[in-house]
C-alpha cells in the first residue's frame, strides 16, 4: 500500500501550511430542480491518492462532471493550484491540468487507438517531443494498446477501452487525474490490473482522485477516503480507518 497521506490530514491547524492542490468548498449542483450535490467540501493534496466512494446515485459522477465543468455548479467554489476555477470552461480546466477518465470509458470509437491518444494530447500538441515520449510511456504501461495502435477504439474490449481512456487522460499532462468508476463492468482480474496501474501512476507522482462504487478495492489503494451518500459527504478519514469502520463495512463492504 502506498503511503501517500500527507501529514496534514488529521490536524486542521497545520492544514494552512500547504494549500491543497484541489479544494472544493460548499459545492452544490442541481439537475433542473433536483439537487444532486449538497454542500460538498473536499480537498486533494499534491501527490495524494484520494478515494471517493459511494453507491449508485450518490452523486459521484455529477461531482466529477461539475469539477470538469461539463455541468455548472449552483453554489460553492473550486480552487485548483491557487486559482478559482469554478466558472472556467471545460477546455481551460483540461489545459490547467485536470484530466478526467470518464465513467464508461467514452473513447472515440471510430478513431484508432493512436488517434485517441493524440486527441488526449490536444492541449499539449505543440510540445510534440513530450507527446511522443508520453505516448511511448502509455504503450509501455499498457502493452496491449501498443499491439493495437491502428485498431479502431470501438472494437477494443471493455478492459482495453478502459486502458485507452486512462492513457488518453495521461496525454493531457494531468496534475490531477480524475477517475470515474474505472472498475465498472470489468472482470476481477482486469480490475486488479487497472488498480495496479493506478497505484503505479500515483507512485510516479500523479495526484489522483478515484471515484468508485467498488469501495473495498478503492480504499485498499487510497491514502484517504470520502464517503458520499445521496449527494453529501458523510465521512472522511484515512482509508485504512474507513476500511475498519463498522458503519462503512456494513454499508459498503458487505461483511
Partner 1 sequence: MLEQIFQFLVTGITVGSIYALVGLGFALIYNASDVVNFAQGEFVMLGAMSAIALLAAGLPLPLAAIAATLLTALVGLLLERFAIEPAKGASVITTIIITIGAAIFLRGVASLLWGKNSLPLPAFSGNEPIQLGGATLLPQSLWVLGGTVVLVALIHAFLNRTLLGKALLACSVNRAAAQLVGINVQIMLRLAYGLSAGLGAVAGILVAPITFSSYEAGIMLGLKGFSAAIVGGIGNPMGAVAGGLLLGVLEALGAGLVSSGYKDAIAFMFVLMVLFFEPTGLFGHKVAERV
Phi, psi torsion values for 241, nearest 5 degrees: -65, -40
Least CB distance to partner 1 at residue 36 (A) = 17
Q: Can residue 109 be called a binding residue for partner 1 (CB under 8 A)?
A: yes
Among residues 107 and 227, whose Cβ is nearest to partner 1?
107
If the CB atoms of residues 101 and 221 are measured against partner 1, the closer one turns out to be: 101
- Number of residues near partner 1 (by CB under 8 A): 35
Tell which one of 28, 104, 146, 213 touches partner 1 (CB under 8 A): 104
Q: Is 148 in the site for partner 1 (CB under 8 A)?
A: no
Helix then strand count (H, E) for the chain reads 10, 10
Instruction: Tell me whether residue 7 or residue 89 sits nearer to partner 1 (CB atom).
Output: 89
**Contact track, partner 1, 111-140, x by CB under 8 A:** x---x--xxx-xx-x---------------
72 binds partner 1 (CB under 8 A): no
154 makes contact with partner 1 (CB under 8 A): yes
Region near partner 1 per CB under 8 A, out of 19-27, 102-110, 202-210, 243-251:
102-110
**What does the H/E/C string look like for the chain?**
CCCCCCCCCCCCCCHHHCCCCEEEEEEEEEECCEEEEEEEEEEECCCCEEEEECCCCCCHHHHHHHHCCCCCCCEEEEEECCEECCCCCHHHHHHCCEEEECCCCCCCCCCEHHHHHHHHCHHHCCCHHHHHHHHHHHHHHCHHHHHCCCCEHHHCCHHHHHHHHHHHHHCCCCCEEEEECCCCCCCHHHHHHHHHHHHHHHHCCCEEEEEECCHHHHHHHCCEEEEEECCEEEEEEEHHHHHHCHHHHHHHHCC
Q: Is 187 left (phi over 0), alpha (psi -120 to 50) or beta?
A: beta
Looking at beta carbons only, is 91 or 140 nearer to partner 1? 91
Site string for partner 1, 173-212 (x = CB under 8 A): ------------x---------------------------
Q: Which of residues 218-247 bind partner 1 (CB under 8 A)?
A: none
- Based on the shown chain and the rule CB under 8 A, indicate whether residue 91 belongs to the binding site for partner 1: yes
Contact assessment for residue 211 and residue 63, using Cβ atoms and an 8 Å cutoff:
yes
Piece of the chain touching partner 1 by CB under 8 A; list 13-21, 27-35, 66-74, 136-144 = 66-74
- List interacting residues with partner 1 (CB under 8 A): 68-70, 89-91, 94-95, 99-100, 102, 104, 106-111, 115, 118-120, 122-123, 125, 154-158, 161, 168-169, 172, 185
Amino acid at each position: 500500500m502506498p503511503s501517500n497521506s500527507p501529514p496534514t490530514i488529521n490536524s486542521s491547524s497545520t492544514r494552512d501550511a500547504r494549500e491543497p492542490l484541489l479544494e472544493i468548498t460548499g459545492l452544490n449542483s442541481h439537475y433542473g430542480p433536483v439537487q444532486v450535490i449538497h454542500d460538498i467540501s473536499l480537498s486533494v493534496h499534491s501527490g495524494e491518492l484520494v478515494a471517493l466512494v459511494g453507491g449508485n446515485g450518490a452523486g459521484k459522477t455529477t461531482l466529477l462532471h461539475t469539477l470538469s465543468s461539463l455541468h455548472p455548479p449552483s453554489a460553492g467554489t473550486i480552487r485548483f493550484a491557487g486559482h478559482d476555477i469554478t466558472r472556467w470552461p471545460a477546455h481551460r480546466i483540461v489545459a490547467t491540468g485536470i484530466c478526467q477518465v470518464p465513467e464508461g470509458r467514452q473513447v472515440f470509437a471510430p478513431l484508432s487507438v493512436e488517434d485517441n491518444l493524440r486527441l488526449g494530447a490536444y492541449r499539449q500538441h505543440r510540445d510534440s517531443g513530450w507527446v511522443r515520449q508520453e505516448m511511448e510511456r502509455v504503450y509501455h504501461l499498457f502493452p496491449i494498446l501498443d499491439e493495437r495502435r491502428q485498431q479502431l477504439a470501438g472494437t477494443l474490449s471493455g478492459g482495453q477501452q478502459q486502458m485507452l481512456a486512462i492513457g488518453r487522460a495521461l496525454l493531457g499532462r494531468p496534475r490531477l487525474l480524475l477517475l470515474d468508476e474505472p472498475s465498472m463492468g470489468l472482470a476481477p482480474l482486469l480490475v486488479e490490473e487497472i488498480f495496479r496501474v493506478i497505484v503505479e501512476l500515483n507512485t510516479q507522482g500523479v495526484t489522483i482522485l478515484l471515484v468508485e462504487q467498488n469501495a473495498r478495492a478503492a480504499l485498499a489503494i487510497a491514502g484517504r477516503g470520502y464517503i458520499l451518500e445521496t449527494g453529501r459527504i458523510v465521512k472522511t478519514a484515512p482509508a485504512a480507518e474507513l476500511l475498519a469502520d463498522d458503519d462503512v463495512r456494513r454499508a459498503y463492504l458487505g461483511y
